[in-house]
Amino acid sequence: MKNPAVLLLEDGSRFDGFGFGYEGEATGESCFNTALTGYQEIITDPSYAGQIVTMTAPMIGNYGANSADMESAAPKLRGFVVREYSRQPENWRAEFPLEKFLLKHKIPGIEGVDTRRLTRHIRDNGAMRGIISSLDFDKKSLLAKARAAPQMTGLDLAGKVTAKKAYVYSAKQKYQVVAYDFGCKQSILRLLTAAGCGVTVVPAATPAEETLALKPDGIFLSNGPGDPAAVTYAIENTRKLIASGAPVFGICLGHQIIALALGAQTFKLKYGHRGGNQPVLDLTTGKVEITAQNHGFAVDPGSLKALPVDITHLNLNDQTVEGLAHKTKPVFCVQYHPEASPGPHDAGYLFQRFVKYMEKAGKK
């Protein structure tokens, strides 16, 4: 028997459905993802911390979940919204149903929602706070809880999802990389290793001096949740790392932090870019990449004009900045997720570019 549940947004919009996963309540910023597959990777991506994620694909859960496709040790999102939840997964890789996974980690889900109406509402009105509940159905009470949730603007969430202490992910290979964990996905670490890098992961607030004392060949700045401008300690550390002359590569939040460290500004997108089908133009080659994205903030192109950087990539949907490269230092970054491989390998060259930066720096 299905139990009723409700999603209420801070503007009073109500979406009724049925609960699955954990029975309870959760508040967060309500957003949507247009990917057709990869729901487990989305649920375990630390960049979704503080958010209630709606999947636009009509059926979710049909291939179950497994221990191999985790992007972090546990889900970081607050709630999960789907049109139809499939209770009987059919896939040889499935180890357990999605609902069992959500229940274990106390993540409330809601199914039976008109996700097309919800997505259009967010697109028209912007991402906003909301609440999922299978316990409380009083609009006044729910509205107060939703509006009491923190705003994403000004919120530092990287410090909440980062590793508690440094650890070695992969043994030293030809190049040694220090990766700042702002909410780093496991697939990024795997591809750095596959590119010939030994990787040491450090917490988000690790001082630049400690990182440089490790004498890395390169420094990587990871993806992560929240407002990049609020991660002030990372911006200051990155400014020092760039000044050192070491090769630096950033993805997503790492891209935004690099831009802020160089003196640029960021702004909040109306509803963000989340999905596996975002077209990006590489201005250095003229090629278009199909990319995976997950971000609610972007770099202000007007703030880049007087800075020593080139815009290397543009989003073809809205012309937002998707990539930067320093004019004189071995520093580059992208807003999208090359490790997610929706193309499937359109953006894989970026990890090799990082290796070439380190190789060139080592010959000086």
Cα 344 to Cα 331: distance, rounded to the nearest angstrom: 25
As a three-state string, the secondary structure of 126-149 is CCEEEEEECCCCCHHHHHHHHHHC
Q: Residue type at 152?
A: M
Out of 252, 295, 322, 333, which one is annotated catalytic?
252
Note whether 199 and 169 are within 8 A (CB). yes
Calpha distance 287→284 (Å, rounded): 8
Alpha helices in 186-250 (DSSP H): 186-194, 208-213, 232-243
Contact 192, 177 (CB under 8 A): yes
Q: Is residue 339 annotated as a catalytic residue, yes or no? A: yes
Pick the catalytic residue: 255, 273, 313, 337? 337
CA–CA dist 9, 13 (Å, integer): 5
The answer to whether 197 is a known catalytic residue is no
Distance CA 44, CA 26 (A): 16
**SS3 (DSSP) at 196:** coil
CB–CB of 275/293 below 8 Å?
Answer: yes
- Spatial contact of 280 and 315, defined as CB atoms under 8 Å apart: yes
The single residue of 10, 71, 322, 339 carrying the catalytic annotation is 339
By the 8 A CB rule, do 335 and 295 touch? yes
User: Within 10 A of 138 (CB to CB), how many other CB atoms are there?
Assistant: 11
Q: Is 99 a catalytic residue?
A: no
User: Catalytic amino acids?
Assistant: 252, 337, 339
